[in-house]
Structure 1
Amino acid sequence: MAYYTGTANDLSALRQALIDACVLEGWSWNGTSEVLSKGTLFLRLQIVSGYLTLLGRTSATAGDAPDVVRIGQIGSTPLAFPLTYEIFAFAGEVYLVINYSVDFYQWCAFGDSTVQGLPGSGMWVGASAGASATSSGVTMSATAGGSGLGTTTAALFWWTNAANSANRNAWIHSDLDTQGWWLAQTLSGQAVGIGPCVPLIGLLPNTWNSEAVLLPIRAWKIRASNKLSLTADLEHARHTRVDNYTPGEIVTLGSDRWKIFPWYRKDTTSRNGGSSINHTGTFGWAIRYEGP
């Protein structure tokens, strides 16, 4: 694993920092097509209308995911420069976290699913926002998120409604049922998202020692007869609650160190989130940290 951190004065500098880190870790960059690639993983990385956009592909020029995912303005709060970035690059997973305007965070991430036997490429990609406008801010709770147009869950694999594809801020190319990037049998079907972590995510932190355990970040696909198939199980990131953690804090568990971040912005006064808000309560995540 490699860890990189620095400051960026604009989105071009942020994109270049991500490209440079990926190239050092074995990815290839094509400046003409603006595509990062590694093995069967392809990612188009562009700056469009003030957003850093990520588009998963199955080849350098084709097999696009239904929509991009993005970093950029959420609600009424624009990105502010210079911003600080941290990049966590592993063999099969890459995470970028940015911090701006004191306590705002955004992220993007992509990688190769560790789930065996998927007929697709296994690529997954996510970011703080989906392709649609995010003028209404964030919608998320301990049981659901991201069902309304104009909002984002701001969290990876948190969505609970498949109806608004442009709202979705993560995609996986499982190709189960020959459906490519799709996450449910039909567009109006329910995608489980955070469902398997309920009620655990709502019970954190525990009342015994006020700590929040780290829960797996996983994604599933709804299939015929309401059956589910696991499509992604992240190796180097976990769900958690940040009530008693400072953003950027490093937690040591055994031989592993984890760096803690809110999904967007920590707010202990409304810790369970809400609808059309400018924070993510105390919902957050931990990324495996092997830096200095």
Structure 2
Amino acid sequence: MPYVSGSANSFADLLTALRNACTTNGWTLSGTVLHKGTCYVDVLRETAPFNLAPADSHLSVRAGNGIDGSNNLTDPAPRRAWLGLLRAVAPDNTFPDWSWPVTYHIHVLTDPDEVWLWVNYNTDFWQWLAFGQSPAGGNAGTGNWHAASICERGPSSGSNTTRINQCRVGADGVADRGGGNEAQFCPQPFFLFHTSASTYSHPNYAIHGALDDSTGAPIWSSGDRHFADGGVGGGYSPHTVNASRALVPLYSRSPNQWNSEAPLLPVQVIQTRLSNKVSLIGEFRHSRLTRNKFITPGQVVPLGADEWKVYPVYRRNAAVTGDVGSGTLGAGADHSGTFAIAIRYDGA
């Protein structure tokens, strides 16, 4: 399971490092699309990013299910996810640059395929971009997925989902829609519970294999719309998926008060269905969600015969859990509390 680290002086360098790591380890690059087997993902440097951001200030990722004769992604996910500069809080509305060079960490994992790019910048800040093919048993889709730190902004110019000082998680530990639990910037993978129809953040992830409640056909997860109470799925989009709701009770009890250890929690992607039922449509094998209250960024944690490298999802703050109550990450938090991701690691 190859692991590559190094330094980069630009987003172009980061993209080159990611492509090289993938193509050296079984992936093929066709145009801007990386593909392996039936997994396809478009990763590129954005020359004209969203919402007036400077040129070449982001990498974006979008999974699909094929390529055409011109190497364009076919059957793509509804929206991209991003890694890059964050917009400052209004009325400034600038995009402060990183202090280059930055350090990157790339994991290229197999069986099933998962690729993770981690970037450490400005001393203690982190962002990430990931993709792969991780269906759960019985998923009728491809299981192709992508995720990254930054979600695409909502359609309203008054609500930008990439503002710095806005790492916000709801009172129950997950990123929720508008109201008291709005997620301005939530860099957790598969953590949005549902979203508003207009002004709030779209998910920073997508997976193929969500089920169309009308036809039963496998489709891309969406999460673009919030239905009124009493609507489909008990008020939530039928295509919204998340890995957070089932983990909230475990997250809230981690790290263990007896021995201060934090379990590595599996990423299981669940879709809300009609009649308050759920379906398991994705299951990752090489990544886990955890707490890093007592784990330093980049620390390697042994678990049986395996080792896991732990990264903060944005910026570690061991004093704030991101839990229910006083530990909740509020609107002004320029950190991600103790939310972290562990990646399977063998140092090679």
User: What's the TM-score once normalised by structure 1's chain length?
Assistant: 0.92
- The answer on whether the counterparts of 1:220 and 1:228 sit within 8 Å (CA) in structure 2 is yes
Does residue 284 of structure 1 match 2:343?
no
Q: How does 1:1-292 map to 2 (within 5 A)?
A: 1-31=1-31, 34-48=32-46, 49=49, 50-60=57-67, 61-76=73-88, 78-91=97-110, 92-132=113-153, 133=160, 134-135=162-163, 137-141=166-170, 143-145=173-175, 147-148=177-178, 151-163=184-196, 167-177=202-212, 178=217, 180-183=219-222, 187-188=226-227, 189=236, 191=240, 192-272=242-322, 273-276=328-331, 277-291=333-347
1:35: how far off?
0.8
Deviation of 1:179 after TM superposition, in Å, equals: 5.6
8 Å CA contact retained: 2:293, 2:319:
no
What percentage of aligned pairs have identical amino acids?
A: 34
The aligned amino acid for 1:96 is L
- Render the CA deviation track for 1:30-61: whole Å, top value 9, x for unaligned: 13xx1111122111111113110001111113
Q: AA paired with 1:21? A: A
**Alignment partners' CA distance in 2, 1:156 and 1:175:** 16
Moved more, 143-152 or 68-77: 143-152
Contact 1:150 1:167 in 2 (8 A): no
Distance 1:202 1:242 in 2: 13
Please list the CA deviations of residues 186-205 of structure 1 after superposition, one character each: whole Å capped at 9, or x if unmatched: 65316454110021101111
Distance 2:138 2:221 in 1: 17
| Distance in structure 2 (CA, Å) of the matches to 1:237 and 1:150 | 23
What is the DSSP-based 3-state SS (H/G/I as helix, E as strand, rest coil) of the residue aligned with 1:268? coil
Q: Is the 8 A contact 1:271 1:282 kept in 2?
A: yes
Larger deviation: 113-122 or 17-26? 113-122
In structure 2, how many angstroms separate the alpha carbons of the residues matched to 1:185 and 1:46?
Answer: 23
Q: Which runs of 5+ in 1 are unaligned?
A: none
**Which ranges of 4 or more aligned residues in structure 1 deviate by more than 6 Å?**
none
- Structure 1 match to 2:91: none
Structure 1 pair 124–269 and aligned structure 2 pair: CA distance change class (3 A): same
Closer/same/farther in 2, CA of residues 146 and 263 from structure 1, 3 Å limit: farther
Contact preservation (8 Å) 2:299, 2:309: yes
The structure with the larger Rg is 2
Residues 15 and 225 of structure 1, relative CA distance in 2, 3 Å threshold: same
Q: Which amino acid aligns with 1:42?
A: Y
Contact 2:293–2:338 (Cα < 8 Å) also in 1: yes
Structure 2 CA distance for partners of 1:150 and 1:157, relative to 1, 3 Å: closer
What amino acid is aligned across from residue 108 of structure 2 in structure 1? A
CA RMSD of aligned residues (A): 2.1
Structure 2 length-normalised TM: 0.78
Report the secondary structure of 1:81's partner residue: coil
Segments of structure 2 that go 5 or more residues without pairing to the other structure are 50-56, 68-72, 89-95, 154-159, 228-235, 323-327
State the SS of the aligned residue for 2:7: strand
Deviation of 1:166 (Å): 5.1
1:185: Cα distance to partner?
11
Give, in whole Å, the separation in 2 of the partners of 1:175 and 1:4: 33
Name whichever of 176-185 and 205-214 sits farther off.
176-185
Counterpart AA for 1:151? Q
